[in-house]
A = this chain, B = another copy of it.
Amino acid sequence: MTRILGIDPGLRVTGFGVIEKHGQGLRYVASGCIKSEAGRSLPERIATLFAGVGEVIATYAPAEAVVEKVCVNVNPQSTLLLGQARGAVIAALVAGGLPVAEYTALQIKQAVVGQGKAAKEQVQHMVMRLLNLPTAPQADAADALACAICHAHAHAALGKLGALAENGAENRTLRAYRVRGGRLIG
């Protein structure tokens, strides 16, 4: 069993998703968002993000992390803010002792939906199906879960973890999609 933490970084909302790869199947563990208040200073927002990722690591003890590669935005200021959020997230992951893999949005969509230009709703739908969730996760959490699924696929492709079962029967007893209170919200 390998527990994988996927992260979709953002300064306003950072999505996270934890899954387990069990032989031929995937099991949903948890997902949610870390939000930072827009009115706060950048160091305060980064502190929230860093502590939030640290709390996710402490709570779910993943063995590996994977972060979506971000694209440059048409607005350079947005690119800078997103870059800072992503840098803080990766810092929190390496501070937590996790190896960090990276995939582009295209690779992630390809792995989860089967084609790189899939719409956000398709990603949410396929994440729900692949992890046998009763409802679609919130969009940022779904992206983070998709990221983790993509990494499990890559593992499988490398022969490290065996082939990926797209909808393992063992998942059918899965508990309902969980939302955590406080700073980590669903």
Taking beta carbons and an 8 Å cutoff, which residues of A are in contact with B? 41-43, 46-47, 49-50, 67, 70, 72-73, 76-77, 79-95, 99-100, 102
Contacts and interface: CB of A to CB of B under 8 A. Distances in A.
A61 to B, nearest CB: 19
Nearest to A93: B43
Copy total for this chain: 2
Chain A interface main SS type: helix
A79 B72 CA distance: 8
Given A42-B102, A84-B84, A85-B87, 5 more contacts: A42-B90, A50-B94, A72-B77, A84-B87, A91-B91
A50 B90 CA distance: 10
B80 A81 contact: no
Nearest to A72: B76
Nearest to A65: B43
Given A72-B76, A76-B76, A102-B42, A83 B87 contact: yes
Contacts of A47: 94
Given A79-B76, A87-B84, A102 B46 contact: no
A85 B85 CA distance: 10
Contact of A70 (B80, B93, B99): B80
A81 B41 CA distance: 21
